[in-house]
């Protein structure tokens, strides 16, 4: 479970640092389209992550293992998971924000672990007991409430298109962990190789398809020459470490529990926003963060070990 906790914590840090970068020039230029800003930021972030992974895997002499894994059926399943979780999910997310606003988008898309848990049950035969499911739902309510409080009013322009975009995101993000978990059942695809396949696929898809589609190439190229790119690189270090932990967690405790722990990033982001930006959270936000952290921990924990650890050890002697 420690890898899942680390993944959520590091992603919270990544989220705050990336937000700082997008508040800098050229992203903060009022003339820039909001969708192009988000896509350019995501593309540069994922491109940096892909490069960092090449260095990391090269230093460990594992690049050949990734290439061999990619040529297997399981590797191709991981590739599909990367497309769903990266550019496809992000595109749906932006469509939703543009049509139903950030508040409603956050409330809908945070449900991706529920879809992922259901898919895990069907595809991977993973099971969560009733208490874990309730804990996950409580955590999701906490995330929804925190997102609604922080995002303000949402304007509806095209509710149907926005809902479709949000559902695409839920399916994309929820499917990624399940497909990658299925792929990693093959001994030829370990968690590090799976993540490199995922991240390289995502970066290439952003650069070749999504960035041109949203007209974000000029902004992306321009941003590389600014200090904001160095800040995104800092976020990418944390993001790469987060995903390495996330994929390790998927291989160790399963997709459902890993997704539950991963949404804890929203609580950790509040802490890092306070540390890095001096943003003081309200009492309600702090309480919601505690609900999120408690719910995600209970959703991913073995309750017998958590509450009856000593009794279990005595019984098994």
The string of pLDDT tens digits covering residues 83-117 is 998 889 888 888 887 788 766 777 788 888 888 88
Q: What is the pLDDT of residues 11-69, one digit of tens each?
A: 999 989 998 999 999 999 998 888 889 899 999 999 999 999 999 999 999 999 999 99
Residues 241, 6, 40: CA angle, nearest 5 degrees: 45
- Of the two residues 34 and 157, the one the predictor is more confident about is 34
List the one residue out of 189, 231, 237, 238 whose CA is nearest residue 6: 238
Identify the residue with better confidence: 188 or 107: 188
CA 2/CA 315 separation, integer angstroms: 25
Domain that residue 183 falls in? 2-316
Cβ atoms 253, 4 nearer than 8 A: yes
Q: What pLDDT is stored for residue 150 in this prediction?
A: 65
pLDDT score recorded for residue 151:
59
Question: How far apart are alpha carbons 251 and 3 in whole angstroms?
Answer: 10
Q: How many domains are there within the chain?
A: 1
Between 316 and 178, whose confidence is greater?
A: 178
| pLDDT score for 299 | 86
Q: What is the pTM of this model?
A: 0.87
For residues 126-158, b (16+ Cβ closer than 10 Å) or e, as one string? bebeeebbebbebbbbbbbbbbeebbeebeeee
User: 285 pLDDT exceeds 60?
Assistant: yes
Average pLDDT taken over every residue of the chain: 87
Residue 76, CA atoms < 13 Å, CB-side half-sphere = 3
């Amino acid at each position: 479970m420690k890898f899942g906790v680390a993944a959520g914590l590091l992603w919270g840090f990544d989220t705050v640092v990336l937000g700082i970068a997008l508040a800098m020039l050229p992203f903060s230029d009022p003339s820039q389209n909001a969708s192009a800003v988000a896509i350019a930021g995501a593309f540069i972030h994922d491109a940096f992550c892909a490069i960092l992974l090449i260095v990391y895997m090269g230093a460990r002499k594992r690049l050949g293992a990734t290439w061999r894994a990619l040529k297997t059926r399981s590797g191709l399943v991981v590739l599909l998971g990367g497309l769903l979780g990266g550019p496809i999910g992000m595109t749906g997310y932006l469509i939703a924000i543009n049509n139903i606003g950030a508040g409603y988008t956050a409330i809908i898309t945070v449900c991706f672990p529920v879809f992922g848990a259901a898919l895990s049950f069907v595809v991977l035969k993973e099971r969560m007991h009733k208490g874990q499911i309730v804990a996950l739902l409580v955590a999701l309510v906490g995330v929804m409430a925190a997102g609604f409080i922080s995002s303000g009013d949402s304007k509806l322009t095209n509710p149907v298109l926005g809902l479709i975009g949000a559902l695409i995101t839920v399916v994309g993000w929820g499917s990624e962990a399940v497909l990658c978990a299925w792929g990693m059942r093959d001994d030829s695809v370990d968690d590090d190789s799976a993540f490199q396949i995922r991240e390289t696929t995502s970066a290439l898809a952003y650069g070749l398809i999504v960035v041109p589609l949203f007209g974000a190439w000029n902004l992306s190229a321009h941003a590389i020459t600014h200090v904001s790119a160095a800040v995104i690189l800092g976020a990418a270090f944390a993001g790469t470490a987060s995903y390495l932990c996330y994929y390790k967690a998927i291989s160790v405790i399963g997709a459902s529990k890993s997704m539950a722990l991963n949404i804890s990033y929203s609580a950790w982001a509040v802490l890092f926003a306070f540390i890095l930006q001096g943003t003081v959270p309200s009492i309600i936000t702090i309480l919601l963060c505690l609900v999120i952290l408690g719910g995600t921990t209970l959703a991913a924990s073995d309750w017998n070990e958590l509450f009856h650890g000593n009794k279990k050890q005595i019984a098994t002697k």
